[in-house]
Amino acid sequence: MRKAHSAAARIGALAAAAALVASGCSTGGAADAPAASGAQLPATASAGQLRDHAIQSMKGKTAAFVPVGMGTPLTEEWNRQLARGFKAAGMNYVLRDPNWDTAKQAEAVQSLINEKPAVLVVHNFDVQILAKLIQQAQQAGIYVIQINMVSNYKSDAFVGADTIDLGRRIATDIVTQCGKDTSTSHEVQIVQGDATSGFTLDVMAGAKEVFGQNPEIKLVSVQAANWDRTKAHDITATVIQQHPNLCASWGFWDQMQYGAATAIKEAGKIGQVKVFTSDHSQITCEGVRDGLFFESYGYSVPTQGSDIVSIAKSLLQSGQAPGTSRVADYTPLVKIDKSNWQQPNMCYDGKKDGLTVS
């Protein structure tokens, strides 16, 4: 997570390559006649035509973002990167915040379908809520990009963590700390987000692969806290009373899991109970610094925002109709623990750049 080798650079290069493959490149001067926005350029297009096509494909178009809710470092950072990137491309940018209300999120997406932005970025509560609306948006001529939590209906693009691999990695680290070669109880708590979110389902799929090969691991509690810190605290306070020899607590998001870590600290069990989580907001670095978190995996949140902009620009220039592509960009995973949390840009706060991935 820390040097100039970033997913943004990769996707920018992919976007440029896609434009060149679709349109060709020559060293000519000014365009004779710019191609219509959304059309494909011929292989013999001049450099001027290529430039005009790129600019006109985006100029004055609208990109819209519908998160699950604002007010967290995660969604604030995505919004910051999207607003900056789309505006720099000459596009209008719209944010619709449903404030963690599933019905309001669906209403916001339906309203945007009627308004017909060129690009719609959605953050799914679960795998089903927006599935039909995503399909409707594409049928209405809108490119749809999903971020970090995938739907049952796959849109033009997905950008986010490889959550199956994330599940494997953290489960493997838990086995190292709590498995058969350790003098522990082997007892593990899991604090899920929403039980039917794409993030939760895929992380659990990866984790089960690892835990299935290590039957000594005892999952004494697998409960959903719905991404809520207070619920994570209360669930964990009960679990630690019932299982005072708990070895590890794993929560699927740093903001939520901070509540679980607090409950473990209140029980005097920090150190004995190793706390695992994911994301790399400032909450992670503070948690590791203060001994509340044992480790977290970051998944390059600022990079995700800039990758979405690059993919959107490529789609707008491609000449492809919405709904005719299915691509995914999985951003790099980086383990954060007491050995590296102090490195520059390890964590982000939603206000300034962080995590340039190496």
Sketch the domain layout of the chain as residue ranges. 7-161+300-336, 163-298
Residue 60 CB partners (closer than 8 Å, separation 6+): 90, 91, 92
Q: Which CATH superfamily is domain 163-298 in?
A: Response regulator (3.40.50.2300)
Q: Are 64 and 98 in contact (CB under 8 A)?
A: no
Q: Residue 324: its pLDDT value, please?
A: 95
* Pure H helices in the chain: 7-23, 47-58, 73-88, 102-115, 131-139, 163-178, 198-212, 229-242, 254-266, 282-289, 301-318
For all residues of the chain together, what is the average pLDDT? 89
**Angle formed by the axes of helices 301-318 and 7-23, nearest 10°:** 0
Q: Are 349 and 73 in contact (CB under 8 A)?
A: yes
Sheet holding 218-224, edge to edge: 218-224, 187-192, 248-251, 274-278, 295-298, 334-336
> Do the domains 163-298 and 7-161+300-336 match in fold?
yes
Q: What is the DSSP string of 231-284?
A: HHHHHHHHHHHH-TT--EEEESSHHHHHHHHHHHHHTT-BTTBEEEEE--BHHH
Full-model pTM? 0.87
pLDDT beneath 50: ranges in the chain: 1-37, 355-358
Q: Which CATH code is given to the segment(s) 7-161+300-336?
A: 3.40.50.2300
Q: How far is 165 from 270, CA to CA, in rounded Å? A: 27
Q: Residue 4: its pLDDT value, please?
A: 35
Backbone torsion region of residue 53, taken as left when φ is above 0, otherwise alpha when ψ lies between -120 and 50, otherwise beta:
alpha
303: amino acid identity, one letter: T
Q: Residue 352: its pLDDT value, please?
A: 67
Q: Residue 23: its pLDDT value, please?
A: 38
